[in-house]
Amino acid sequence: MGKQYFGTDGVRGEVGTDPMTADFALRLASAAAQVLVPEGGTVLIGKDTRLSGYMFEAALEAGFVAAGADVLMLGPLPTPGIAYLNQVFRADLGVVISASHNPYHDNGIKFFDGAGAKLTDEVELEIERYLEQPAITRESGKLGKAKRIDSARDRYQEFCTSTFPKGRNLDGIKIVFDGANGAAYKVGPRALNALGAEVITIGCSPNGRNINAGCGSTEPGLLQQTVPAVQAQAGIALDGDGDRVVMVDERGGIIDGDQLLYILATARKAAGSLEGPVVGTVMSNLGLEHALTRQEIRFLRAAVGDRYVLEALREHGGVLGGETSGHMILLDQTTTGDGLISALQVLAVMESTGRPLSELAAGMPKYPQRLVNVRTRARIDLAGSSAIQAAVREAEHRLAKSGRVVLRASGTEPVIRVMVEGEDEHLVLHLAEQLAAVVAEAAT
C-alpha cells in the first residue's frame, strides 16, 4: 500500500486544508511518538518563518507531550540545523515545520531520526497506520515536558563555520546573502561574518508572509542584479528552510545545483578527497554527466528527492551528490542537504584557487533544457497512458542520442513535470510543449 500523507519530503499542503490542520498535526505527533519514541524520549521541534508555524508548533508540542515525549523547542532554524542538533542533544527524533521553497500559505512537517537522517518509507508507512487511531494521552505521571532552547542557533552557526577549511577565511571577500525571508535569515549572515566576509543581505526581513516571495533560490532575480551592482565576488540564495542553495557569480549569472556539484566534485578530485561516484538525479543536466565523464569522475542518477540521492551515495560509497534545484548532500561534512554549508564549500574553492565563480563553473556547459509543470486534478498513470508513452517515444526518436525526456509526478504538489533536454534548443522547446499538451489532455 502506498503512502497517503507523506510525499518525497514529509507531509505538505495548504494551511487549513487537510492534512495541514492543527488537529492533524497533533495526531501526527502522537503517531510518530508511538512509532519512534514509544517509551518516552526527546523530540526537537524547529520551524521556518511562516505565520502558521506558531500553530503547528503548539499542536505538535501537545501531541508529543501527551504521548510521553519531552520536547525541546528550537524556534526558527534551517532544516539541516535540526538534523545536526538532533545529534548534539542526543534526541530521538527531530521535527521540522516548513514547506521549504513553497509560498507562505503552504506548510509541512518532516522528521529526522536520532542520527540526523530522514525517515525511511517503511517508517513513514508505520506512522500512517497509527494515524488511523485516536491520539493518545498518557496518565499524568508519564506525560512529557517542554522547554525552549535559546542556544540552538549559535550551536548550528558554529558547526557551519567549522566546515570551512582550518586556517583559512573569507577576509576581503564581499558576498550578497539572500535568506529567502526564511529560516536562515540570521544564521547565514552571521556565519559568513564570522569567517571574515563582508556581507550584504537581502531577503532577511521575514514577516511571516514574505518567505520565498520575490527572493531566495526560487526567485534570485534581485540577487543577480545586486551582486554585480555592489561588485561582490558571489551571491548566495537559500530557500525558505535553508536546505537548498543557488549561487550567483560576479557577473550576475546563476550557478545552479548541477554547476555547484561540478565545482565541488572537480575540486575534491584535484585534492584527492573524492570518494565513490557523484550522484545526481534523473533531472540533472546532461552537461553535468558529460563534464564529469571528461574528468574521469563516475556519475550516477537517482530518483528525484534528496533521500534517494542519499540512498545511492550510501549504496555506492559516495560522499557527494545533489539536485539541479541546489539540494546538495556532502556526507563528508554533514548528514543531510545543507544550503549554507554547501555554499561555504564552494567559497572555499574560490578562496583556495583564486578563481572567480564564473570561471569555476565554465567547465560544465549546460545543455538546453525545458521543464514544463502540468497541473492535474488527480493522479495520472504515466506508464499506463498509451498516448503519453507514444508521445515520449516520438520525442526520444527525434532527439536520438543527443538528448533526454523525463516525465515524473511531483511528490509535493499535484503536478506532472515534463522535462526535455538536448543539443538543439529549438527542438527541445518544441518537444517539451508538445509533450506537455499531451499530458494536459490526458489529465482532463
pLDDT tens digit sequence for 380-402 = 888 888 999 999 999 999 998 78
Closest CA to 251 of 380, 357, 130: 357
Say yes or no: 44 and 125 in one domain. Answer: yes
Residues 334 and 406 reside in one and the same domain: no
Quick one: 429 exposed, middle or buried, by C-beta within 10 A (0-12, 13-18, 19+)? middle
Q: Which three cell numbers stand for residue 289?
A: 554527466
One domain for residues 141 and 24: yes
At residue 8, φ and ψ (nearest 5 deg) are -75, -20
Q: pLDDT per residue over 313-345, tens digit each? A: 999 999 999 999 999 999 999 999 999 999 999
30 is an active site residue:
no
Same domain, 84 and 198: no
- Looking at the structure, tell me whether residues 147 and 15 fall in a common domain: yes
pLDDT level of residue 1 (50, 70, 90 thresholds):
low
Within-domain flag for 281: yes
- Res 412 pLDDT > 70: no
3: in domain: no
Residues 35 and 93 both lie in one domain: yes
In the structure, what pLDDT confidence band is assigned to residue 372 with cuts at 50, 70 and 90? Answer: very high
**Count of structural domains, the chain:** 4
Q: What are the pLDDT digits (tens) for 150-175?
A: 999 999 999 999 999 999 999 999 99
Tell me: do 291 and 313 sit in the same domain.
yes
pLDDT in tens, 235-261: 999 999 999 999 999 999 999 999 999
Asked whether residue 105 is domain-assigned, the answer is yes
- Confirm whether 358 is domain-assigned: no
Q: Are residues 235 and 109 in the same domain?
A: no
The average pLDDT across 179-202 equals 98
Domain assignment of residue 132, yes or no = yes
All three cell numbers of 250, joined, read: 560576479
Residue-wise pLDDT tens digits, 38-91: 999 999 999 999 999 999 999 999 999 999 999 999 999 999 999 999 999 999
Q: What pLDDT score was predicted for residue 84?
A: 96
In which domain, by residue range, is 288 found? Answer: 256-338
Residue-wise pLDDT tens digits, 70-84: 999 999 999 999 999
Q: What is the rounded CA–CA span in Å between residue 370 and residue 287?
A: 14
356 located within any domain? no
CATH number at residue 416: 3.30.310.50
Q: Give me the numbers of helices (H) and strands (E) for the chain, helices first please.
A: 14, 18
Overall average pLDDT of the 213-241 stretch: 98
Which residue is catalytic, options 52, 98, 100, 217?
100
Q: Is there a single domain that holds both residue 192 and residue 75?
A: no
CATH code: domain of residue 219: 3.40.120.10
- Give the confidence band of 7 by pLDDT, cuts at 50, 70, 90: confident
Is 429 a domain residue?
yes
* Domain annotation covers residue 301: yes
Instruction: Say whether both 246 and 262 belong to one domain.
Output: no
